[in-house]
Amino acid sequence: MTTELHLTAAISHDQDESLTPAQKGVLQRAVVKMVALGEQTGVTADEMIELLDAGLTVGELLEYLVARAGEVA
């Protein structure tokens, strides 16, 4: 399983309902973009998964990555 799929699973693990194929596609594209942003800021996908597992929400993770992107730029 690719790192992006691991991150997708970590983000969607608490969904009560199954996602539709369209929703899964949107989620996968968003994860690919988040992984790319993480790579630009020095945060690996594995580190993002650890942050999510530790209780960070997806929104908080995105804010963290954007803040780091500002520091790197």
Domain of 46, in residue numbers: 20-72
**Is residue 44 helix, strand or coil?**
coil
Instruction: Count Cβ neighbours within 10 Å for each residue of 44-66 and write b for 16 or more, e otherwise.
Output: ebeebbebbeeeeeeeebbebbe
Residues near 68 by beta carbon (within 8 Å), at least 6 away in sequence: 41, 42, 43
Within the chain, which residues score under 70 in pLDDT? Answer: 1-17, 72-73
**CA distances from residue 38 to 15, 31, 35, 62 in whole angstroms, order as listed:** 24, 10, 5, 9
Number of domains in the chain: 1
Has residue 12 been placed in a domain?
no
Has residue 60 been placed in a domain?
yes
pLDDT at 65: 93
Has residue 15 been placed in a domain?
no
Has residue 57 been placed in a domain?
yes
- Whole-structure pTM over 0.75, yes or no? no
